Structure formats: C-alpha cells, structure tokens
C-alpha cells in the first residue's frame, strides 16, 4: 500500500509548506506516540541538525508525544547516525531525527529509527500515517508524557566513533581538514579525530541556523579541497548537514567520492579477511567501481537510489558494506546506518595499516566519466509512460552500445528528474547527457 506522507527517506519539504509545518509536526508527534504507546512504557529520542526550524519542530513533536502519553528524551543537535546509535544503546522505543540532510536551511524533514538503530519498517510508518489522519486526543493529565534532556549524548557518540577503529592505531602526525557543513557534526567530528591523535583544522563549524550546507560540506567539497591545499594537509573530510554523508579530498586536492571510498574499504576488509557477502551500490554507482571490485573477485549488486534500498539489499544478500557515490556509506560491521565519521575512520585506518596515502589507495579504481543533469519540475513525472522520453533514451543507449549506460529517475527527496549518462569517452558522455536532458525537458513540459 502506498504511503501518504513518508517518502524514501522519511518526510521532507520546505518549511512552512504542508506537511513541514508546526501543526503537522504536533500531529506527527502524537501519532508516533500513539503507535509506540501500545508497546508499553518507555521513551522516544528526539534530535536535530542545526537549521533554525529545528527549534520549532522539536517543540511541536515534544508536545504531540506528551499528549499521547509518551516520554521524550531530547538530544539537541546530533548527527543522524548518532541518533541511530543512541536509540539502540539507550533502548529507546524510537528515535526521531529533525533534518533535511544535505538540503538548504529552508527545508526540513523527519526521519525515524527503530529500537535496533535501523529505519522503521513500512508497517509502523503505515500505522503512524493512520493516526495522522485521525482526530487528535489527549491522555488524562496524570498520564502526560514527561521530557528530559540527555546531557551526555555527544560524549557517548564520540566514544562510539573512536571505538570503530583498533585502539592501537595512532593517527599522530596526520593533518586533517574537516568541513562540518555548519551542521550537526560541528561539536562532534573535530573531537573524534583529534582524540585519535590527528591534527585537526576545522571549517564549516560555526552554525547560525541559516548557513547549513551553504557552499560547504559534502555537496560542495571544492571549498575543502582549497583548504587541504592551503594547509598542506594529508587529507580532507567533508560531511553533510546531518553527518550521514562523506566526501574526502586527498593531499593533492583531488576529490574522492563515495564510490571510491567504498572500494577502498572493501579492498581493506578483503585483505584482512573480514569481508563477507557482496558490496551493494545503487543504479548510480560508477561502472569503474563495479569493474575494480570485479577484478578483486568482489561482486557488486545495485539497489535503487536511497540508503533504505541499499540496506534492504545488504540484508537480503547478507552483505556488510554498501552505499552511494554521494557519500552515504554503510559499514554494517561497525554500525547500523550510514555514518560519515565512522566511514572516514575506516579509510584512515587503512592508510595507517598500509602506509599509503589516500591518493594511492584510490588509484586502484578508475572512474568512468559520468554526467548528471538535474531537471527541476513542478509536478510528479512518470518517466516510463512518456513515449518521447523512452525514444530519447533508446537513441542514446544505441550510440553508447556496451561502452556506457543511461539512467533516468525522479528524485525521492526533491522536485527533480535526474538524467545520468556514463561512458568511456568524456566528450561523448557530455554531448549525450546534454542532448538527452534537452529532450527530456521538452517532453516533460509539453
């Protein structure tokens, strides 16, 4: 059954536009409380990133949960993977994340984690939606939910991150530039990497509620690359606004994306005899990663775009490592969800183990030229039902033959149609991508 409010990654949109409104969040908190109140006593964790609307929405969710008779534990600014970790280790009924991840400050959204630190199953999301559309009631005063703040949340998560690499590893002498995207990792990431011995230079660490992801972080790693070069650092780490994405920069200022990082971690696990199952990527994963993994004897399976689908396929195939080129990386041998800090630590550990630079580690994978063009649309588009789009795709696929591929999809989080063309020849890829984007744009607006 289709869901009314939940998308592939929770509920997301522009602040002030339904359903990203205070009154909806009140009702959502109440609906969530009603669902989890059925399971007996306990509490729900609520955390957020640094965007200004988080204050409004955490208050609304808190009120709704209280009205349903459920206790709340407030975390304040906390990375999404940190909230997943704390939900699991504090034995909360659920964890609620107020974040729009890599989106601008004027967007916001809600994600949920189960008591296991994983995304909520569809069944619970359906139950929450049923209550959202039901009349809101309030329990009697003596049964109203109470609210407390978890004062040591940051410290707990910092210690967890550090424990994902062997304690004997010493990162002294390593200079790292960290871009926190003025987001939820601003008070976490610098401590993690300095406490494992590295010399840390922090940028993007002064959130004001409006500057989250603004020309910085994992979606704009160019700023980090310039700082790595300026400080003659060994590498740079760019996180996104909620800390579940990572893009890195090597000492030459070259950007190392999620596909390359997954390759590095997979090769490391294999050489240490710790890799089991296939690697899971997505339909957008670079062909170069697939070929590099194949050369190592490691199969790659492709899921639909979105970390939820990567996780589902990892579970189905009994895998332990997967992710996306955008920087969502899931290391199931270390944690339960995509985690930028934990993923970075795995790469640093491999650098120390092998004595190689990040630039050397990524050299085993050659990326195919890939062009992605986003077409903004004001309506939902069913691409597979538009003949002109199908003909345009067929024409480009015929020209590419077996030396490339085409992918069209509607974004699950933004009003965009994404056009991707990948192949051996960069000039051809650029030409075909622009040609296809123009054809798709005409077909959509006509």
Catalytically annotated residues: 101
Question: Would you give the DSSP letter of residue 203?
Answer: E
Say how many CA atoms lie within 13 Å of 82 toward its Cβ: 34
Question: Would you give the DSSP letter of residue 20?
Answer: S
For the record, the structure tokens of 292 come out as 């590099």
CB-CB contact of 204 with 198 (8 Å): no
For residue 323, list its beta bridge partners: 329
Q: How many whole angstroms separate alpha carbon 362 and alpha carbon 256?
A: 8
Q: How many whole angstroms separate alpha carbon 16 and alpha carbon 220?
A: 26
User: How many contiguous H segments (helices) and E segments (strands) does the chain have?
Assistant: 14, 18
Question: Would you give the DSSP letter of residue 181?
Answer: T
Q: Which of 1, 6, 281, 241 is nearest to 120 (CA)?
A: 6
For residue 50, list its beta bridge partners: none
CB-CB contact of 44 with 77 (8 Å): no
Question: Would you give the DSSP letter of residue 244?
Answer: S
For residue 178, list its beta bridge partners: 202, 237
Instruction: For residue 241, give Cα distances in angstroms to 108, 151, 245, 441.
Output: 11, 22, 8, 30
Cis omega before residue 218 (within 30°)? no
The angle formed by the CA atoms of residues 154, 244 and 14, to the nearest 5 degrees, is: 100
Neighbours of 251 (CB within 10 A): 17
CB-CB contact of 176 with 231 (8 Å): no
Q: Which of 100, 114, 8, 103 is nearest to 54 (CA)?
A: 100
Torsion-angle region of 97 (φ positive above 0: left; ψ -120 to 50: alpha; else: beta): beta
DSSP string for 286-328: -HHHHHHHHHTT--EEEEPSSHHHHHHHHHHHT-SEEE-TTSB
Q: Percentages helix, strand, coil for the chain, rounded to the nearest 5?
A: 40, 20, 40
CA dihedral sign, ordered 336, 337, 340, 343: positive
């Amino acid at each position: 059954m289709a869901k009314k409010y939940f998308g592939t990654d929770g509920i997301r949109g522009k602040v002030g536009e339904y359903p990203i409104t205070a009154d909806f969040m009140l009702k959502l908190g109440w609906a969530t409380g009603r669902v989890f109140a059925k399971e007996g006593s306990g509490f729900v964790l609520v955390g957020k990133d640094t965007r200004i609307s988080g204050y409004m929405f955490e208050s609304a969710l808190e009120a709704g949960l209280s009205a349903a008779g459920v206790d709340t534990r407030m975390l304040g600014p906390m990375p999404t993977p940190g909230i997943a970790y704390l939900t699991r280790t504090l034995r909360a009924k659920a964890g609620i994340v107020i974040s729009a991840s890599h989106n601008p400050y004027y967007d916001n959204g809600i994600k949920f984690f189960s008591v296991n630190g994983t995304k909520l199953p569809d069944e619970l999301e359906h139950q929450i939606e049923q209550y959202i559309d039901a009349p809101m009631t309030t329990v009697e005063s003596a049964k109203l939910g109470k609210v407390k703040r978890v004062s040591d949340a940051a410290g707990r998560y910092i210690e967890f991150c550090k424990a994902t690499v062997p304690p004997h590893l010493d990162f002294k002498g390593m200079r790292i530039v960290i871009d926190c995207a003025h987001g939820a990792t601003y008070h976490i990431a610098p401590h993690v990497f300095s406490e494992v011995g590295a010399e840390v230079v922090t940028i993007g660490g002064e959130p004001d509620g409006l500057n989250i992801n603004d020309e910085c972080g994992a979606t704009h790693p160019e700023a980090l690359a310039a700082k790595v070069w300026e400080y003659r650092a060994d590498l740079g780490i760019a996180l996104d606004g909620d800390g579940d994405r990572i893009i890195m920069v090597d000492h030459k200022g070259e950007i190392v994306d999620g596909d390359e990082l997954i390759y590095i971690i997979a090769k490391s696990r294999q050489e240490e005899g710790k890799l089991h199952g296939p690697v899971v990527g997505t339909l957008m994963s670079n062909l170069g990663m697939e070929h590099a993994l194949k050369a190592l004897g490691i199969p790659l399976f492709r899921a639909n775009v979105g970390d939820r689908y990567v996780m589902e396929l990892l579970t189905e195939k009994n895998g332990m490592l997967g992710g996306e080129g955008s920087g969502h990386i899931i290391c199931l041998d270390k944690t339960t969800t995509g985690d930028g800090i934990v993923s970075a630590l795995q790469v640093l550990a491999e650098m120390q183990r092998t004595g190689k630079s990040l630039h050397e580690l990524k050299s085993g994978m050659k990326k195919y030229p890939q062009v992605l063009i986003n077409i903004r649309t004001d309506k939902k588009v069913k691409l597979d039902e538009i003949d002109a789009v199908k003909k345009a795709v067929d024409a480009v696929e015929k020209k590419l033959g077996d030396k490339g591929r085409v992918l069209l999809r509607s974004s699950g989080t933004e009003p965009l149609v994404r056009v991707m063309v990948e192949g051996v020849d960069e000039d051809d890829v650029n030409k075909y991508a622009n040609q296809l984007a123009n054809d798709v744009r005409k077909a959509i607006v006509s």
